[in-house]
Amino acid sequence: MTQQWVAKNNLDLIGMLEPRIQPVNIQAVEKGLGLHGWKFISNESQHPLCRIMIGWNTQKVATSLVSFASQWITCDVVSLLDCRRIRVTMVYALNTPTQRKSLWNYLGDQHANGNQDSWVVLGDFNATLSLADRHGGDGNWYGHMDDFQNCIHSAELMPMPSNGLHFTWHNGQQHDRTILRKLDWAFANQHLLMEWPAVQATFQAWLVSDHSPIVVTVHTAWETEAIGNPISRLTSKLRALKGIFSKLHKTHTNNISSRVERAKEDWQRAQLDMERNISDASLGQKERDACRIFNALRKAEETFYKQRSRVQWLQLGDKNTAFFHRTLLHRRHRNSIHSLRNENGEEVRDQCQLGKMAASHFEHLLNLPQTGTMGPIADLFPKTISQEEGEAM
């Protein structure tokens, strides 16, 4: 699962929270992840069961440990491509407000000590910033809940631009027992946002955990440095984009027609299920979700085939081919006038008569006598300024 997720999201650095691994099993677990060429660090010495583990692709980045405790690991990550450095703090906060105070103090101290690095802080903070981050359960706002917000302000951190889920944790219950919280966050300091203005955090759907995975992108293919003259740099960047577009095609448009058909069947089943038990609100939501997925895939299919037809035209349209002549014939047929109605309301289909009717129509239009006369142009502007006012402007 981890190996597939890393490959799908093209990750070079990962943080795993609450793996609950005994120290004697750490190395075996690292090998079992199947991430060849990766190295790992953890805070297993700070807790009986490992709470945080960080891994990185040694072919892409170099990572050095800065600080660790039971609730965080901070490391410096340097890109081997351009030697740019980011400081990363992975957080897994403890459960009680008292236990979390040491985490808040640590984050605030980093700014107070004059940290000038581009800094990313992300993970499970076990805390919310406002009532908008809570749904269900106890709706009261207690004094200790301000500690998290005060910490973020004192550390001068800002939530990253993000997409995906807002509520990142759920209690697994349904209906009025459902509790949702935004406990997982991705923050950045001003230095990082200035150096990587396109940075973005994606809060993905829940997988094997009851928490949402976070994917932070700080570098895109188009933003990578390329060496050479302008044309050479453009070519290098387009080559870098090719792999991303191939992955995008494989993920979103590969076998699109069969995916549309499956989505249609899912939607039809959802409609039948909803009709059998109309009072079940979850079935209604399931039907709406299935409808939305089907419509999105159908639109993607239409766009895909339109684009493919344009590519075919670019490849064949300027050649004297059967495809070229079929296209011209189709357009001529589509643009032809097959029938008109004359002044008596009779339908005329004869091509000679159609030509005469068209010529007669436009002759009549062009020979109509002009009606009306144009008055003085000043009449078009009833509200004017005086000469004195004009000179004063």
Q: Does the pLDDT value for residue 74 go beyond 90?
A: yes
Q: What average pLDDT does the chain have?
A: 82
pLDDT band at 64, cuts 50/70/90?
Answer: very high
H or E segment at 354? Answer: helix 351-366
pLDDT band at 319, cuts 50/70/90?
Answer: low
Tell how far CA 94 is from the center of its chain.
30
DSSP state, residue 24: G
Q: Say what the pLDDT of residue 262 is.
A: 87
Helices (H), the chain: 2-9, 26-32, 97-112, 146-154, 190-195, 230-252, 256-276, 281-316, 322-335, 351-366, 387-392
- Could you give the C-alpha distances from 101 to 127, 213, 338, in angstroms and in order? 12, 25, 81
Q: Write out the DSSP string of 157-224.
A: -EEPPEEE-S--EE-S--GGG--EE--EEEEE-HHHHHH-TT-EEEEPPP-SSSB--EEEE---GGGS
Q: Does the pLDDT value for residue 222 go beyond 70?
A: no
Please count the helices (runs of H) and the strands (runs of E) in the chain. 11, 17
Q: Does the pLDDT value for residue 75 go beyond 90?
A: yes
**CA atoms of 78 and 295, how far apart (whole Å):** 43
On the CB side of 282, CA atoms within 13 Å amount to: 5
Residue that the structure tokens 């406002």 belong to? 130
**CA atoms of 51 and 71, how far apart (whole Å):** 8
Contact 72, 92 (CB under 8 A): yes
Instruction: Encode pLDDT of 322-333 as tens digits.
Output: 655 566 555 665
Question: Which residue type occupies 126?
Answer: N
**CA atoms of 157 and 162, how far apart (whole Å):** 15
The total of other beta-carbon atoms located within 10 Å of residue 75's CB is 20
Q: Mean pLDDT across the stretch 367-388?
A: 70
Tell how far CA 167 is from the center of its chain.
16
Instruction: Encode pLDDT of 80-104 as tens digits.
Output: 887 889 999 999 999 999 999 999 9
How many residues are listed for the chain in this entry? 393
Q: Does the pLDDT value for residue 221 go beyond 60?
A: no
H or E segment at 140? Answer: none
pLDDT band at 45, cuts 50/70/90?
Answer: confident
Question: What is the radius of gyration, based on Cα positions, of the chain?
Answer: 32
**What pTM does this model have?**
0.57
pLDDT band at 210, cuts 50/70/90?
Answer: confident
Residue 92 burial (C-beta neighbours within 10 Å; 0-12, 13-18, 19+): buried
Question: Which residue type occupies 128?
Answer: T
Q: Say what the pLDDT of residue 393 is.
A: 62
H or E segment at 119? Answer: strand 119-124
